[in-house]
Amino acid sequence: MNLSQEHIDFENKIQQIVGLTLLKVEYLEIDYEPRNPIPYYKSQFKEIDTIDFSIILQTDKNKIEFYWDGQFYQFGIGIRFNEINETATGRKWDVSNDDLWEKFIGQKIENFNLTWEEVRTYEEKRGKSDKFIYPQDIRINFSNNKSIFISAAGFLNEDDNEVMGLLDNLTVTDNESLARQVKMIT
């Protein structure tokens, strides 16, 4: 797979997370029930959260937002630094003390691995095909030798056993075996 300069620049942008210490984690969800707010990010799998908007990592130096994005192809992983794009209907949930995240609080990000996927499209009317390379998921490795996996994917239905990619959703877990089982990562 040949990456363009735009792809390389994207990886270099993400490189900025290396060396940062995680202090707090929030999920930004669409506010489905403004009068009776309840979190919707839990999935049928205890170790997988599914977020319809973004994951915000507050570190010792930056606020980092991972979100689903269309920079390369709709929908892949996107990242912003210190420019949180909150919607009027969004609700934040502090998940720093949740089982999934508490082991990463106070830990330094050591490195990451971004997975690029290739998708081909074909427009029948014009007889035109295109190839797109987009960031599907990211593994973030921490100083405690544990990793978090974030994928631009989601469960179409609550009882699905596998996620679908190319959705306006993120899934996150620290269980690599489960991430592979449900097709969050390959």
- pLDDT tens digits along 119-168: 988 888 888 999 999 999 999 999 999 999 999 999 988 889 999 887 78
Q: Using alpha carbons, select from 154, 132, 133, 135 the residue that is nearest to residue 53.
A: 154
Listed in sequence order, the DSSP H helices in the chain are 5-14, 99-102, 176-181
More confident residue, 112 or 75: 112
pTM of the model: 0.93
